[in-house]
Structures are given as C-alpha cells and as structure tokens.
Amino acid sequence: MSGVGGSDRIFGVHAVDALLQQHPDRARHLYLQDERRGQRLAALAQRAREHGIPVSHHSRRELDALSGGARHQGAVLDAAGLPELGEHDLEDLLDGLDHAPLLLVLDGVQDPQNLGACLRTAAGAGADALVIPRDRAAPLSAAVRKVAAGAAERLPLVRVPNLARVLRMLCRRGVWLVGAEAAGTRSLYQTDLGGPVALVLGAEGRGLRRLTREACDYLVRIPLAAGVESLNVSVAAGVCLYEAVRQRSE
C-alpha cells in the first residue's frame, strides 16, 4: 500500500489532488470509480491527463481492492514513493530557512489517525517540518495520507533512527525544545514560543519517553478544566502550534 522511497498507493480525493498538484512527476496511474462521475473526480482526471498520467475507470469493487478496503471516495493513485528524509535533510532544511524554525516532534505516535491529523494541523500552522522516530511510530501509510488531506505532500516528514540525538542537534543549533506534558512546570501560555522552537509531544497514553523529556528545555502544560486529565495528541499539537503562531504574529 505504501513505501517511502518505493511506491505508494494513495486514495481519497484530497490526498490524490495534493499529489497531482505538488508532485505530478511521481504519479503513475489514476484509477477512478466508474459509477461516480462528479465534478471533483472529473477535475482529477483532467489534471492527470494534463501531466500525461494514464487514467482508467473501474468498478467500486475493483477500487475497494486497490485501496485495501479503505474509503477511497472514488479515486486511487499509484505513485512513486517519497524519498525518505533523515537527520541530514533536516539540517539542510534548517540551513535554508530565512526565519526562526517552527518544528513539531512526535515521540512515538503509533496511531495513523493521529499522525495524519498532526500532519494536517502542522501544515496548516506553517510548521517547517514534522519529526518522528523511525521505530515505534506510525509509518507514512495511505491511511495517514488520507487523514492528512494532502498535507503529507506539503510538509516535510523527517524519520530518524535516534530521536534523542536529533534533539541534541537542534539544541546545538539554538532551537528551544518545548515538551508538552500534563505535569509540565509552566503553562503553555506563559512560555515564549516566538523564536526558534521545536514542540515535542509524546505518544498516546505514555507521553514523552525519559530521554526525550530530559532533552527538553521546558516542560509545559496545557491548562485543562477540572476532571480532564489530557487531550488527544493531535488536539494538543494544534493548541501548541497555534499558540506559537499567535505569538509570532504579534
């Protein structure tokens, strides 16, 4: 279904449209559902043909098989896989920025829905990259892409074998590491996020791992009403990212 650096099978109107707009050179074949002839699918077919990408129509059953039974909205695209981005690519990205970096780091988020939602939110907030460990984290699957609604084609996703080492590299480069935890020592809203910042969030249920927590310059908490222990990681990421956006726009 998906393989970074190999081949991808992408489904869902938004995810397919984003790839056709951002990376049409990667597209190999567009499969559309024969029974659905709406405007959105027609626009996908036109865009694909403009780039010389083969388009064919098939039954819903055939598209269900191509998408592995996932909800495809009548569109499935075969494409060359994204090149995997690693630690050196992240350093190159940072070297090329003309503004203070805003990064999102996820420490072991394994749920595809949450990873996709975090990708979408980070892209919407204008983050420069999302960093995840190579192990103990959800891969960039077709399900993640569909939830991300095209953000996977816009926001660099950096997968690293040693997250603690990357955090130390960011620290050496002057990027402040702000970890979000329920037991944080300061409020998110009392923390300066206007400079170079990496927002670090932990996995569902477990939170930040020890080495990740110890690497952070600050541990912050999102103020919650009495009786509410925590937020979903994708919601927490959105709150943190948009507080940084608010501070930077002042």
> ∠ at Cα 151 (147, 157), nearest 5°?
105
Angstrom distances, CA of residue 171 to CA of 115, 212, 216, 245: 24, 12, 9, 21
DSSP-H helix ranges across 126-191: 142-148, 163-172
Write down the residue that tokens 């029974």 correspond to: 35
Report domain 7-80's class. alpha beta
Over residues 101-154, the pLDDT tens digits come to 999 999 989 999 999 999 999 999 999 999 999 888 887 777 787 787 777 778
Output 23 or 200, whichever has higher pLDDT: 200
What is the rounded CA–CA span in Å between residue 154 and residue 232?
Answer: 23
Residues spanned by CATH 3.30.1330.30 within the chain?
A: 7-80
- Say whether 144 sits in a helix, a strand or coil: helix
Write down the residue that tokens 């990496």 correspond to: 198
Residues spanned by CATH 3.40.1280.10 within the chain?
A: 87-249
Whether this model's pTM surpasses 0.85: no
Task: Name the E strands within the chain.
Answer: 7-11, 27-33, 55-58, 75-80, 102-107, 129-133, 157-160, 176-180, 186-187, 197-202, 218-221
- Assign a CATH topology to domain 87-249: Alpha/beta knot (3.40.1280)
Q: Would the pLDDT of 250 be above 80?
A: no
33: left (phi over 0), alpha (psi -120 to 50) or beta: beta
* C-beta neighbour count of 227 within 10 angstroms: 5
What is the rounded CA–CA span in Å between residue 209 and residue 160?
Answer: 16
Q: Would the pLDDT of 201 be above 90?
A: yes
Over residues 149-172, the pLDDT tens digits come to 777 778 889 999 999 999 999 999
What is the rounded CA–CA span in Å between residue 138 and residue 114?
Answer: 9
Give the model's pLDDT for residue 79: 85
Q: Would the pLDDT of 1 be above 80?
A: no
How many CA atoms within 13 Å lie on the side-chain side of 124? Answer: 17
Over residues 21-73, the pLDDT tens digits come to 888 888 899 999 987 778 889 999 999 999 999 999 999 999 989 888 878 88
